[in-house]
């Protein structure tokens, strides 16, 4: 049986949630990420399960980690198949001051010419330290076109430079706050299917996968070499069903398209209004409907 609430129903609920009601105190995402949930937190927080603050927080598609940083859980398992992203979080967690010092140097030298020099070094260097690679990852993320993370078939980052007058490449206080919060997390670079061997009854699992495209030309899933296919969406649904049987509390975000509705028709489905910030056609940017699937009321 499908439970469907409307955009207005979700908006009527309070966005405050216990100790998380003051987002100004929370750490914030340190990288831009396509599909990031910062702008949706006010609609997602009211949909969280009761007692979530006592649960282990699990995310198999961490991306920018907006919900993790908003909730500040005491225990977390954060995963992403993008090894470079997980390496970045691990290094910020373990060696944030070195990363800040390196970012200061990159910021002072920033120009379009330097962007491409850093991109070439990032793709070709095997001798740089983890901190150097992390600083380059953050620098490229903050200065590339639209904050995209896209790689080619060789696994090389190939996004062109963005057109920014004065890009804010880093925030020392934000990086330190993220470092402190990441200390509560176990970080892994692995597929969402590995949750079948690690998720436990009572975990809160938030799935934020690459979205099913709204059209054949609206595919932004190439943040790894393999991308994310329709078959992957079906495999993800199977993992969702298995974890439901395991008594995990589950929440999933995805496109409001017939495939996703059909895959999760036995679960509760809510609509939320999201701001589409990235599209090659400016006429297709703006508010769109997205789905939030839950296995709890």
**Cα–Cα nearest to 77, from 92, 65, 95, 88:** 65
pLDDT value of position 68: 98
What distance in Å separates the CA atoms of residue 74 and residue 210, rounded to the nearest whole number?
26
Q: Tell me the C-alpha distance between 230 and 215, whole Å.
A: 13
Q: What is the pTM of this model?
A: 0.86
CA distances from residue 187 to 166, 208, 217, 287 in whole angstroms, order as listed: 32, 16, 33, 33
Task: List the beta bridge partners of residue 187.
Answer: 78
Question: Do 277 and 200 reside in the same domain of the chain?
Answer: yes
Residue 179 is assigned to a structural domain of this protein: no
CATH no. for residue 34?
Answer: 3.40.50.150
Integer Rg of the chain from CA: 19
Q: Which two tokens stand for residue 68?
A: 């993790």
Same domain, 165 and 283: no
161 and 201 in a single domain? The answer is: no
Spatial separation of the C-alpha atoms in residues 78 and 58, rounded to whole Å: 6
Let me know if residue 183 belongs to a domain.
no
Residues 159 and 111 in one domain: yes
SS (H, E, C) the chain: CCEEECHHHHHHCCCCCHHHCCHHHCCCCCCCCCCCCHHHHHHHHHHCCCCHHHCCEEECCCCCCHHHHHHCCCCEEEECCCHHHHHHHHHHHHHHHHHHHHHHHHHHCCCHHHHHHHHHHHHHCCCCCHHHHHHHHHHHHHHEHHHCCCECCCCCECCCECCCCCCCCCCHHHHHHHHHHHCCEEEECCCHHHHHHHCCCCCEEEECCCCCCCCCCCCCCCCCCCCCCHHHHHHHHHHHHHHHHCCCEEEEEEECCHHHHHHCCCCEEEEEEEEECCCCCHHHCEEEEEEEEECCC
- CA 77, chain centre distance (Å): 14
In this structure, the answer to whether residues 151 and 26 fall within a common structural domain is no
Of 174, 198, 229, the position where a domain reaches its end is: 174
77 and 112 part of one domain: no
Question: Is 184 inside any structural domain?
Answer: no
- 202/73 same-domain check: yes
- Is the domain of 116 the same as that of 159? yes
Whether 200 and 161 share a structural domain:
no
List the beta bridge partners of residue 4: 269
Query: Does residue 181 fall inside a structural domain?
Result: no
185 domain-assigned: no
Examine the domain organization and report whether 90 and 146 are in the same domain.
yes
For CA atoms 18, 23, 28, 34, give the dihedral sign: positive
Are 66 and 212 within one domain? yes
Domain boundary among 113, 144, 174: 174
Shared domain check, 67 and 119: no
Tell me whether residue 30 is in a domain. Answer: yes
Output the pLDDT for position 25.
54
pLDDT by residue for the chain (297 residues), tens only, comes to 445 555 444 444 444 444 444 455 569 999 999 888 999 999 999 999 999 999 999 999 999 999 999 999 999 999 999 999 999 999 999 999 999 999 999 999 999 999 999 999 999 977 899 999 999 999 999 999 988 888 888 889 999 999 988 899 999 999 999 999 999 999 999 999 999 999 999 999 999 999 999 876 555 444 454 578 999 999 999 999 999 999 999 999 999 999 999 999 999 999 999 876 544 444 445 678 999 999 999
- Residue 180 lies inside a defined structural domain of this protein: no
Q: Is position 182 within any domain?
A: no
End-of-domain residue from the set 149, 174, 199: 174
- Count: domains in the chain: 2
pLDDT at res. 18 = 44
Q: Which domain holds residue 123?
A: 85-174
CATH of the domain at 115: 1.10.1020.10
């Amino acid at each position: 049986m499908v439970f469907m609430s409307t955009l207005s129903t979700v908006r009527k609920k309070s966005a405050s949630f216990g100790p998380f009601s003051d987002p100004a105190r929370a750490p914030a995402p340190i990288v831009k990420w396509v599909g990031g949930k910062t702008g949706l937190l006010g609609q997602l927080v009211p949909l969280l399960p009761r007692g979530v603050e006592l649960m282990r927080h699990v995310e198999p598609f961490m991306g920018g980690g907006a919900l993790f940083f908003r909730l500040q859980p005491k225990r977390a398992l954060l995963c992403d198949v993008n090894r470079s992203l997980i390496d970045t979080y691990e290094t910020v967690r373990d060696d944030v001051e070195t990363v800040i010092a390196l970012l200061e140097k990159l910021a002072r030298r920033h120009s379009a010419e330097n962007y491409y020099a850093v991109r070439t070094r990032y793709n070709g260097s095997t001798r740089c330290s983890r901190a150097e690679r992390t600083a380059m990852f953050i620098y490229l993320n903050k200065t590339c076109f639209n904050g995209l993370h896209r790689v080619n078939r060789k696994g090389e980052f190939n996004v062109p430079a963005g057109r920014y007058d004065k890009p804010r490449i880093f925030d020392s206080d934000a990086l330190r706050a993220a470092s402190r919060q990441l200390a509560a997390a176990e970080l892994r670079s692995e597929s969402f299917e590995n949750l079948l061997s690690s998720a436990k009854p009572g975990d809160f699992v938030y799935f934020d996968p690459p979205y099913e495209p709204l059209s054949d030309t609206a595919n932004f899933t190439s943040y790894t070499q393999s991308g994310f296919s329709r078959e992957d969406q079906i495999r993800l649904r199977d993992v969702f069903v298995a974890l439901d049987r395991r008594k995990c509390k589950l929440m999933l975000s995805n496109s409001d398209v017939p495939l996703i509705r059909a895959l999760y028709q036995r679960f509760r489905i809510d609509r939320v209004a999201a701001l589409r910030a990235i599209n090659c056609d400016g006429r297709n940017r703006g508010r769109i409907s997205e789905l939030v699937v839950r296995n709890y009321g």
